[in-house]
């Protein structure tokens, strides 16, 4: 019998790819497709999905590339025989913090698209006042971040209000810099979307509201008062921070925030109905950030952690406690009012591990980008590089890019050796040790900073779930498991793309919830089965090992502080 019944799409517009995943009402994934920006759309000339202007510390992506990626993705789906007529709901996940600047023609263009032409031909450049979107790796906004922290009396108070201290990539400081550097383009802007609400807008045929969780990545939304923060909006709107006309204009450009993550924003635009065969009643559900979407890929228990090994590396937890600190991020939960998402985000995640992989290969005379040597080195190097009980512990910090956690402006590679409480910068060591040390270092940072969220009597996560491109790497999983522990173990979420899956589940929940009272957890939890979706890859807590990492916390913190304060020499290359 031919497959039938409703289907829900989740899209993920992340740094390097646009992905789509389709699920049925029983949560079965029936289709996946992706477009890689570097490989499939080479004419834009991006590398790893972005342009970098090193002189000004800018990182940005062309909006037209994302639109062409959507045209191509839909064409690929059609070529593979995907039945668009079954799609009853669409939601999405977007790389966080990026902003899209729509022109005054945007609404009319979006609502009158002709099926004779592609989205790209009709929208770009006409519908935009600025053809680029600042990327989350951008770090050009130091002055603006300082102004944001100052505006409310320091980064503690900014974190209390918005869930995060001031960050370069956050949209508020980015908007302020845009206002200062590109006043004409800003004046020509009718609306500003996040990457997530931009994606929803394309499907909706009008500008979609910003999502209640993704809005927390802007340094503009007050989580405590559940509304835009007037002090911060007026700062982002004009450098003086006191121009009421500019403030009013920015409020209009940002629009309302949609409080319900499962809201039906309206039916899909007629363009998609006529051109691709979507049903006219297909519901468009708010898209959220890729990280909030990832926590929707499974029913997450309290004390569970998700480690996302994508371009960025992030650790995510869901919590009832609003426990803000400038050391990490708190977001509104994407579907459940009263819950929050805890997050740490490392810029030097996947790409930094790739640099070490290439250096390890180079030392062995290997010129390809295979992971075998990196993996061998990571598992064969003893804990903290200690070859005997008397050997010094080796702790490294690998920041080919300026880092977010900790806030380090100067790229570099820093190696330390610790003997009890005594920490000294190392003269250097074999690059093979770096393979283990980079993962240990990232995991120790996560362990130390997530401690306030965990039960003090049980200071390990219950389970650690790995997602993202790097989650297929067992050596990385082993080192993460050694450092983080995990009472029930470390699991790989074997679901294709977790953020796209979370988005597809969100669309399903939004359309099939019995009433607005049926929670995401209840609906997805009642249909979810671990079978085929979750694979235990490591046992987690290992007595002695977890404690050995505990012994080095003080030295790690001391060494990290030296790097952050610019007191460490470091190296500019790995070998």
Ligand X SMILES: O=C(CO)[C@@H](O)[C@H](O)COP(=O)(O)O
Ligand Y SMILES: Nc1ncnc2c1ncn2[C@@H]1O[C@H](COP(=O)(O)OP(=O)(O)O)[C@@H](O)[C@H]1O
**Residues contributing to the site for ligand Y (CB under 6 A):** 14-17, 310-311, 350-351, 353-354, 371, 468-470, 472-473, 476
Interacting partner of 291 out of ligand Y, ligand X, none (Cβ under 5 to 8 A depending on kind): ligand X
Which of 8, 9, 11, 15 lies at the binding interface for ligand X (CB under 6 A)? 15
Q: Is 197 in the site for ligand X (CB under 6 A)?
A: no
Distance CA 496, CA 493 (A): 8
Binding to ligand X, residues 290-309 (CB under 6 A): 290-291
Q: Is 198 in the site for ligand X (CB under 6 A)?
A: no
Q: Is 310 in the site for ligand X (CB under 6 A)?
A: yes
Number of other residues whose CB lies within 10 A of the CB of residue 175: 28
Q: Is 95 in the site for ligand X (CB under 6 A)?
A: yes
Question: Minimum distance between the CB of residue 312 and ligand X, rounded to whole angstroms?
Answer: 4
Question: Minimum distance between the CB of residue 165 and ligand Y, rounded to whole angstroms?
Answer: 24
Q: Is 219 in the site for ligand X (CB under 6 A)?
A: no
Distance CA 445, CA 560 (A): 9
- The C-alpha angle with vertex 146 and arms to 143 and 149, in degrees rounded to 5, equals 155
Question: Minimum distance between the CB of residue 224 and ligand Y, rounded to whole angstroms?
Answer: 31
Query: Residues 214, 94: contact at Cβ < 8 Å?
Result: yes
Closest CA to 537 of 497, 489, 572: 489
Interacting partner of 169 out of ligand Y, ligand X, none (Cβ under 5 to 8 A depending on kind): ligand X
Three-state secondary-structure class, residue 263: coil
Question: Minimum distance between the CB of residue 430 and ligand X, rounded to whole angstroms?
Answer: 30
> Which residues are CB-neighbours of 274 under 8 A, at least 6 positions away?
115
Binding to ligand X, residues 505-544 (CB under 6 A): none
Pairing of strands 313-319, 305-309: antiparallel
* Residue 561 DSSP class: H
User: How many residues form the binding site for ligand X (CB under 6 A)?
Assistant: 16
Pick the closer one to ligand X by CB: 217 or 502: 217
Ranked by CB distance to ligand Y, the top (closest) residue is 469
Pick the closer one to ligand Y by CB: 150 or 354: 354
Stretch of 80-88, 242-250, 285-293, 410-418 lying at the interface with ligand X (CB under 6 A): 285-293
* Residue 297 DSSP class: S
Structure-block tokens of residue 37 = 């920006």
Distance CA 144, CA 171 (A): 11
Site string for ligand X, 142-181 (x = CB under 6 A): ---------------------------x------------
Sheet strands (E) in 292-411 = 305-309, 313-319, 329-332, 340-346, 393-399
Q: How far is CA 116 from CA 37, 274, 276, 278, in A?
A: 25, 10, 12, 16
Q: How far is CA 306 from CA 279, 295, 314, in A?
A: 35, 7, 8
Interacting partner of 20 out of ligand X, ligand Y, none (Cβ under 5 to 8 A depending on kind): none
Distance CA 485, CA 545 (A): 9
Pairing of strands 305-309, 463-467: parallel
Structure-block tokens of residue 172 = 């508020």
Pick the closer one to ligand Y by CB: 147 or 498: 498
Question: Minimum distance between the CB of residue 402 and ligand Y, rounded to whole angstroms?
Answer: 18
* Residue 342 exposure: Cα atoms within 13 Å on the Cβ side: 28
Stretch of 95-103, 259-267, 382-390, 393-401 lying at the interface with ligand X (CB under 6 A): 95-103
Question: Minimum distance between the CB of residue 17 and ligand Y, rounded to whole angstroms?
Answer: 5
Positions that interact with ligand X (CB under 6 A): 14-15, 95-97, 136, 169, 217, 289-291, 310-312, 314, 345
């Amino acid at each position: 019998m031919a497959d039938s019944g409703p289907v829900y799409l989740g899209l993920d517009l992340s740094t390097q790819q646009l992905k789509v995943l389709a699920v049925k009402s029983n949560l079965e994934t029936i289709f996946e497709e992706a477009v890689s920006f570097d490989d499939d759309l080479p004419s834009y000339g991006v590398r790893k999905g972005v342009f970098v202007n090193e002189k000004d510390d800018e990182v940005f992506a062309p909006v037209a590339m994302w639109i062409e990626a959507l045209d191509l993705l839909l064409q690929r789906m059609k070529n593979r025989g995907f039945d668009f007529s079954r799609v009853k709901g669409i939601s999405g996940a977007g790389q966080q913090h990026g902003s899209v600047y729509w022109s005054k023609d945007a609404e009319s263009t979006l609502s009158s698209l002709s099926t004779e032409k592609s989205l790209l031909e009709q929208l770009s450049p006409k519908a935009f006042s600025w053809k680029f979107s600042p990327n989350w790796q951008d770090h050009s906004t130091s002055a603006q971040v300082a102004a944001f922290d100052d505006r409310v009396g320091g980064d503690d108070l900014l974190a209390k209000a918005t869930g995060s201290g001031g960050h370069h990539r956050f949209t508020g400081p980015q908007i302020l810099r845009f206002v200062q550097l590109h006043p004409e383009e800003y004046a020509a802007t009718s609306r500003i979307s996040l990457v997530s609400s931009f994606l929803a807008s394309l499907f909706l045929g009008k500008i979609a509201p910003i999502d209640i969780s993704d809005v927390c990545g802007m340094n503009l939304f007050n989580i405590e008062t559940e509304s835009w923060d007037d002090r911060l909006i007026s700062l982002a709107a004009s450098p003086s921070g006191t121009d009421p006309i500019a403030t009013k204009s920015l409020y209009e450009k940002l629009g309302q925030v949609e409080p319900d993550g499962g809201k039906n924003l309206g039916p899909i635009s007629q363009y998609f109905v006529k051109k691709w065969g979507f049903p006219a009643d297909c519901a468009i559900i708010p898209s959220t950030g890729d990280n909030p979407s990832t926590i929707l890929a499974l029913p997450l228990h309290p004390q569970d952690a998700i480690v996302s090994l994508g371009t960025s590396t992030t650790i995510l937890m869901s919590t009832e406690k609003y426990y803000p600190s400038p050391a990490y991020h708190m977001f509104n939960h994407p579907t459940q009012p009263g819950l929050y998402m805890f997050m740490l985000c490392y810029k030097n995640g996947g790409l930094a591990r790739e640099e070490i992989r290439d250096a390890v290969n180079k030392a062995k005379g290997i010129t390809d980008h295979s992971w075998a040597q990196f993996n061998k080195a990571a598992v064969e190097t003893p804990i903290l590089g200690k070859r005997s009980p008397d050997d010094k512990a080796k702790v490294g910090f690998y920041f080919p890019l300026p880092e977010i956690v900790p806030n380090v402006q100067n790229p570099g590679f820093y190696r330390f050796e610790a003997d009890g409480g005594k920490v000294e910068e190392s003269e250097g060591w074999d690059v093979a040790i770096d393979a283990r040390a980079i993962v240990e270092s990232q995991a120790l940072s996560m362990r130390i900073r997530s401690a306030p969220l965990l039960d003090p009597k049980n200071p390990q996560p219950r389970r650690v779930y790995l997602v993202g491109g790097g989650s297929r790497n067992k050596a990385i999983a082993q080192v993460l498991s050694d450092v983080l522990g995990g009472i029930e173990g470390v699991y790989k979420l074997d679901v294709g793309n977790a953020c796209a899956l979370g988005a597809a589940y969100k669309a399903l929940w939004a359309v099939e919830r019995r009433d607005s009272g049926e929670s995401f957890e209840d609906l997805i939890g009642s249909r979810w089965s671990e079978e085929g979706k979750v694979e235990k890859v490591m046992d987690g807590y290992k007595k002695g090992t977890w404690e050995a990492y505990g012994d080095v916390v003080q030295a790690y913190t001391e060494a990290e502080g030296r790097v952050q304060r610019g007191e460490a020499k470091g190296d500019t290359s790995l070998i």
